[in-house]
Amino acid sequence: MEVREKLAVRPSALSCCGCRLKLNAALDEVVLLSTCNRVEVYGTTPWVAGKLHRIFQQLTSADIDLTPYLYVKEGAAAVEHLFAVTGGLDSMVIGETEITGQVKNAYQAAQKAGLTGRVLNRLFQTALQIGKEIRTRTAIGRGATSVGSVAVELAEKVFGGDLSDKTVMILGAGKMGEACVRHLAKRGTRSVLVANRSLERAEALAAEFGGRALGFDGRMAALIEADILVSSTGSPTTVLHKGDIAAILPARGNRPLILIDIAVPRDIAEDTQELENVYLYNIDHLESIVHENSKLREQELARCQDIITRRTAALMKRFEPRDEAGRELAAGWAMNGTMMAKA
């Protein structure tokens, strides 16, 4: 996580960073994918050797050796990797659906910025088709579906499965926080508080679930009421420090407070977990529940892999260069490398 935080790219900055990668890392085409669990660069280039450090140095000013965290996939292996990622097979929660939307958004941002061409357009369009095929032809998507739903499941474990008398607070009204609200509403929570820098956006989300909206400055007073906080603001800096939480604990009357930080970079300072009756979980802590929920889905992996293998072979066949008569040529096509940083 410490490494991913230094490389993470906000959705609004994908196009800008993609342009920088294309110009400074000598990539012919490029799509940049940055989520809570991965930072990946998909590119076309005649050669990959020696480019990895130059590529990822474009994403961070931190002085850090990224060598232990990088790997490269080329050609068919890169194609298979993207297909597996889009289908949710490489996610913490196997078969989760959020990644498909994230891949789509990353591709559309690159396409709009003129960063894609013949190879990556066909690759990503095929990947999105395969994501749909995997979900309709297999049972990989059954059970817990996303990091948001797993976070809710964690809260149920802590409170013995009953959230009906609990107040939930969402800090940040982005898609991840919105997903958590939906799952919590289905589980019958008593009330929902939504705090966001945009009061208008908070009000829209709160109205949808009969909750209460408040401005970002009111977050600490609202935490006195809350039993569970789900934080996913997209802020580049910490928004809740240990001292902030410690200051409200006396007013809470010794009630447990669960803090679920699903943001990258993290919203909540790590030392907050040292406080009594405060339980802090970040994206990496969710893995224990992820493993439990993935057992049923693992049975479908072979069927998903068959789809990916078949579609990869077909796509690579289309990429083979041909002469005017349609005969295959011996020369290779531009290499498609997947460069990935993942802690």
How confident is the model over 263-308, as pLDDT tens digits?
Answer: 888 999 999 999 999 999 987 887 667 677 667 777 889 999 999 9
Instruction: Return the sign of the alpha-carbon dihedral for residues 280, 284, 288, 291.
Output: positive
Confidence at residue 116, expressed as pLDDT on a 0 to 100 scale = 96
Q: Dump pLDDT digits (tens) for 138-176.
A: 988 776 556 667 777 778 888 888 888 899 999 986 677
Q: Which of 17, 36, 180, 304 is catalytic?
A: 36
Confidence at residue 212, expressed as pLDDT on a 0 to 100 scale = 93
Give me the mean pLDDT over the 44-67 stretch: 78
Kindly report the pTM of this predicted structure.
Answer: 0.62
| Residue 16 appears among annotated catalytic residues | no
List, as one string, the DSSP characters of 150-191. Answer: HHHHHHHHHTTT--TT-EEEEES-SHHHHHHHHHHHHTT-SE
Cα–chain-centroid distance for residue 260?
Answer: 15
Where does the pLDDT of residue 333 fall: very low under 50, low under 70, confident under 90, or very high at 90 and above?
very low
The helix/strand/coil state of 226 is coil
pLDDT tops 70 at residue 324: no
pLDDT tops 50 at residue 230: yes
Place of tokens 């991913």: 4
User: Angle at Cα 162 formed by Cα 186 and Cα 275, nearest 5°?
Assistant: 110
Higher pLDDT, 31 or 330: 31
Amino acid in position 185: A
Give me the mean pLDDT over the 116-138 stretch: 95
Of 101, 109, 68, the closest CA to residue 85 belongs to: 101
List helix spans (H) across 228-324.
242-248, 287-298, 301-319
The helix/strand/coil state of 330 is coil
- Tell me if 38 sits within 8 A of 330, measured CB to CB: no
- Tell me if 265 sits within 8 A of 1, measured CB to CB: no
pLDDT tops 50 at residue 330: no
Kindly give the pairing relationship between strand 191-196 and strand 257-261. unpaired
Give me the mean pLDDT over the 299-324 stretch: 86
Distance CA 219, CA 222 (A): 5
Give me the mean pLDDT over the 206-221 stretch: 90
Q: Dump pLDDT digits (tens) for 202-213.
A: 898 888 888 999
